[in-house]
Structure 1
Amino acid sequence: MLQDTHNRIINYVRLSVTDRCNLRCTYCMPEKMQFEQHASILTDDEILRLMKLLAFDGVSKIRITGGEPFMRPGLITLLEKIKNIDGITDISITTNGVLTKKFIPALSKLGIHNINLSLDTLDGQRFTQITRRDKFAAVMDSFNTMLSHDMQVKVNMVVMENVNTDEIVDFAKLTEHQRVAIRYIEEMPFNGQDKGFSGVSWDYHRILSAITDYYPLEKLTDAPHSTSLNYKIPGFNGTIGVIPAYSRTFCGTCNRLRISATGSLKTCLYGNNMLNIRDLMRNHDFTDMHIRSGIHAAVKEKFIDGKEAEKHYLTGIMESMSLIGG
Structure 2
Amino acid sequence: MNFHLWQPCNMRCGFCFARFKDVRAEVLPAGHLTANEALEVVSLLAEAGFKKITFAGGEPFLCPWLSDLLEAAHQLDMTTSVVTNGSLVTETASLTGLIDWLVVSIDSLSPQVLLELGRTTAGRPLPETTYRALCEDVTQAGIQLKINTVVTRVNRREDLSSFIIAAGPRRWKILQMLPIVGQNGGANNALSVTDDEFEEFVQRHEWVSQYGIDVVPENNDAMTGSYAMLDPAGRFFDNVNGCYTYSASILECGVTAALGQVTLVRSKYLARGGRYNWNNPSPPALAHRGTD
Normalising by the smaller structure, the TM-score range is: 0.7 to 0.9
**Cα–Cα, structure 1 residues 38 and 120, in superposed 2: closer, same or farther, change >3 Å?**
same
Which aligned pairs between 1:101-116 and structure 2 lie closer than 5 A? 101-102=90-91, 104-110=92-98, 112-116=99-103
Report the count of equivalent residues.
253
Identity across matched positions, percent:
21
Q: 2:3 aligns to what?
A: 15
Q: Secondary structure at the match of 2:96?
A: helix
**Cα–Cα, structure 1 residues 304 and 60, in superposed 2: closer, same or farther, change >3 Å?**
closer
The answer on 1:80 being equivalent to 2:71 is: yes
Q: CA RMSD in A?
A: 3.3
How far apart are the structure 2 equivalents of 1:298 and 1:40? 22
Q: 2:15 aligns to what?
A: 27
Q: Secondary structure at the match of 1:82?
A: helix
How far apart are the structure 1 equivalents of 2:224 and 2:145? 22
How far apart are the structure 2 equivalents of 1:154 and 1:305? 23
Q: 2:231 aligns to what?
A: 260
The answer on 1:208 being equivalent to 2:202 is: yes
**Cα–Cα, structure 1 residues 182 and 39, in superposed 2: closer, same or farther, change >3 Å?**
closer
Letter in 2 for 1:201: T
Q: 1:157 aligns to what?
A: 149
How far apart are the structure 1 equivalents of 2:218 and 2:89? 24
The answer on 1:274 being equivalent to 2:268 is: no
Checking the alignment, whether the CA contact within 8 Å between 2:157 and 2:201 is kept in structure 1 is: no
Q: TM-score, normalised by structure 2?
A: 0.73
**Cα–Cα, structure 1 residues 147 and 129, in superposed 2: closer, same or farther, change >3 Å?**
farther
Q: 2:124 aligns to what?
A: 134
Q: 1:152 deviation in Å? A: 1.8
Letter in 2 for 1:240: V
Q: 1:179 deviation in Å? A: 2.5
Q: 1:46 aligns to what?
A: 37
How far apart are the structure 1 equivalents of 2:265 and 2:243? 9
Post-superposition CA distance 1:46-71 (Å, at most 9, x none): 22222222222211110110000001
Q: TM-score, normalised by structure 1?
A: 0.66
Unpaired runs of 5+ residues, structure 1, are 1-12, 218-230, 282-289, 307-326
Q: 1:297 aligns to what?
A: 260
Checking the alignment, whether the CA contact within 8 Å between 1:68 and 1:96 is kept in structure 2 is: yes
**Cα–Cα, structure 1 residues 275 and 17, in superposed 2: closer, same or farther, change >3 Å?**
same
How far apart are the structure 1 equivalents of 2:212 and 2:186? 42
Letter in 2 for 1:44: A
How far apart are the structure 1 equivalents of 2:209 and 2:224? 20
Q: 1:275 deviation in Å? A: 1.6
Q: 1:242 aligns to what?
A: 217
Post-superposition CA distance 1:92-125 (Å, at most 9, x none): 11110000122x2222132x23111111111233
